[in-house]
Structure 1
Amino acid sequence: MTTVDTMRPVHTMDRLLLGDNQFFGINHMSEERARAQAVRFQDTQSIVDVIEIALQEGVRTLMCTTHERIAEVCDRVRDDPGRFRGFRAYPCMPYAHKYANAVTEHGMLGALRSFLPDDGALDAVLRGGRSVLRKDVEGLIPLLIDAEMKMFHGIQTPVVFLQNVVVDLLLGLGFDDAFAAFDRHVRTRYGAEPGFITMNLPLLLDRLDALGISNPVVCANINAMGFRMSGGVSGYEQALAERTFRPVAMSVFASGAIAPRPALEWIHEHARVESIVFGASSRSSIASTVAITRELWGPVDAQDS
């Protein structure tokens, strides 16, 4: 077992975080709605417009994948910092489809080479090659984190998440040291708070506790329906009541199956959460979610607390 140094910067997260599923045609309840969203957001400007609306309504954090289109969004933010004042991103990595496509086209080492950071690229390739040959997961993780973080240079990224597709795979394989490697590199290289996304909240908390990762940021599905909550609502309610961690709730609306007010009221009454990730694509839905959240919790922006 690897025990990590738990001294890390503590970032106060905003109550509301804008998610990005709607921008890429992801809806877990409706394929028709997903297709309509994918068509609407074919143009990067349409994504930027929604982000700007969110900022105007008080939601300043985008919790996002490392999709190529997000790199374009980051370019727009860097080009006009005044317009996007206060904006920050919470990257969620890796974006699995990107790597799968690159491996298919270029092979494993070719894919790694295409994603490596610009600084010290040759050394990174050599280290990456050795890591692949040794199957040294801990040595490879920092390289992949650096590759994913390239698109966010110059943008505030106070929390960096490991995606559930990897977290839950590592849980199943028992590769717990990979969590420690991720935690350590995010804190030391980027001065950021490491976060973990999972579909199995109780099991992940057990593993992180065993590693000595105290009070971690963990994002999981939390909603009244038990939608995509492995183990059921009661297990999550117990974890939220008894475990020490910083909960981020996603799928609170169960992909549109629960209306915003009852969904948020249930979260307020049943779940001790620090932040809520929500997907929205119009001013009215963003404004409505902000208004309900302010009514229940107070400010959505941590700086206004």
Structure 2
Amino acid sequence: MKQKKITLLVGDNPFLGISHLSQNRARNRGNALDDPKNCAHLVALSIVNGADGFMFSACNKTLAILEELRKNEIIKDLDLYAIVPYAFEYVRLATQMGGFSALAKKVLKEMASSRNFMAILRGFKGVAGTDIESLTKAYLSYEFSRIKSSAGKEAHLNSILLHQAITDLALAFNLKPLFKAHTDFALSLGIKPGFNTGNFPYLVKKLKEWSIDLSEVLIAAPFNKVGFQMNPSKEECEKALAEYPEPTVIAVSVLAAGYLKPSEAVDYIKTLPNISGVVIGVSKEKHANETFRLFKESFAE
């Protein structure tokens, strides 16, 4: 079993009103998390209690949180892990704007206003030729510039991960060019490419088939004691993890959307090989204080 320091990351689900068990639970968190300043405060408090970084889906809300962290000079103390695209936001916008063609025009317009000319060039090339590689690189350039603009020059963007909805859909359609383009382009920026998935064993299998070096990529996937969201099964996910060549896997859903106690999550994660990080969402100061302190102390033993 390969072991290394566990990176503890603040997750953004509570900030975005997401609960994988209950929408009532998400609504009952109240309005405090509607304010990016309050969210940034919880991130900062988590850092004080042992968190190392922030994993977030790139959207207007989280970019505003990054701006608050930059203003408060906390950003330099964080490792940032961005998930793109924030699929739910784009689906909502497409619905509001009357379809994906209108949404595509909006994104291209935003690329132009960002003055990221390389992204603009790649974007028009991709649209003209339906070129997956060019479209992927154009979009990543656009998101990279948005994140850096909000986070500032002192920010450390450790990884850009493809959103689970995109990763798993691309897997279903066997879109090797998309995975290769994302990996190669992120590496060219000096950033670790990553993939957020709900089917860890299948993603690992396909990356191996496509000769994508597993030591060069980061995978975020569910791992928890009760097998919540671990597809196709808890046993197969654990088997694939045990056979993984490097500790470059970040465990998400470790609390099973609040079903498990933090102490139960710690005990389970400590039994797993090749886990390099853990993501924990917090919605209250009490969570930021107690949960991250527990994880930090437990993994320091």
TM-score per shorter chain, which class? Answer: 0.7 to 0.9
Question: Which residue number in structure 2 is paired with residue 265 of structure 1?
Answer: 267
The one-character-per-residue Cα deviations of 1:87-112 (angstroms, maximum 9, x if unpaired) are: 23211000113333444527144123
Q: Percent identity?
A: 25
Distance between the aligned counterparts of 1:271 and 1:40, measured in 2?
Answer: 37
Q: Distance in 2 between matches of 1:295 and 1:43?
A: 30
Distance in 2 between residues matched to 1:13 and 1:219, nearest whole Å: 16
Q: CA RMSD in A?
A: 2.1
Shift of 1:85: 4.1
Q: TM-score, normalised by structure 2?
A: 0.87
Match of residue 128 from structure 2: 133
For 1:213, the equivalent position in structure 2 comes to 212
SS in structure 1 of the partner of residue 156 of structure 2: coil
Q: CA deviation at 1:234?
A: 0.7
Deviation at 1:126, TM superposition (A): 4.8
Match of 1:8 in 2: none
**Counterpart in the other structure of 1:185:** 185
Given candidates 42, 50, 73, the residue that maps to 2:42 is: 50
User: In the alignment, which residue of structure 2 is the partner of 1:297?
Assistant: 299
Using the alignment, how far apart are the partners of 1:133 and 1:148 within structure 2?
21
The alignment's TM-score, normalised by the length of structure 1, stands at 0.86
Label 1:37 to 1:149 Cα distance change in 2 as closer, same or farther (>3 A).
farther
* 1:62 maps to which of 54, 77, 87: 54
Matched, 1:285 2:287: yes
- 1:84 to partner: Cα distance: 4.3
What is the identity, as a one-letter code, of the residue corresponding to 2:81? Y
Gaps of 5+ in 1: 1-11, 300-305
Counterpart residue type for residue 167 of structure 1: T
- Asked if the contact 1:22/1:38 (under 8 Å) is kept, the reply is no
> In 2, distance between residues paired with 1:13 and 1:171?
30
Give the secondary-structure state (helix, strand or coil) at the position aligned to 2:29. helix
In the TM superposition, residue 19 of structure 1 has moved relative to its aligned partner by 0.2
Q: 1:14 to 1:270 in 2, by over 3 A?
A: closer
Quick check: 1:103–1:110 contact (8 Å CA) kept in 2?
A: no
Which is further off, 30-39 or 213-222? 30-39
Distance in 2 between the 1:80 and 1:40 partners? 19
Q: Deviation per CA, 1:153-182: give whole Å up to 9, x if none.
A: 122101111111100000000101211100
Matched residue, 2:27: 35
Instruction: List structure 1 segments (4+ residues) > 6 angstroms apart after TM superposition.
Output: none
List runs of 5+ in structure 2 lacking aligned partners.
none
Contact 2:116 2:142 in 1 (8 A): no
Say which of 106, 112, 131 aligns to 1:111: 106
Report the counterpart of residue 201 of structure 2 in structure 1.
202
- 2:157 is paired with a residue whose SS is coil
> What aligned pairs does 1:212-251 form with structure 2 within 5 A after superposition?
212-214=211-213, 215=215, 216-245=217-246, 246-251=248-253
* Paired positions, count: 285
TM alignment of 1:151-190, pairs within 5 A: 151-153=146-148, 154=153, 155-189=155-189
* Residue from 112, 120, 137 that aligns with 1:142: 137
Partner amino acid, structure 2, of 1:67: C
Q: Structure 1 residue 100 and structure 2 residue 91: aligned?
A: yes
**What is the CA-CA distance between 1:60 and the residue it aligns to?**
3.2
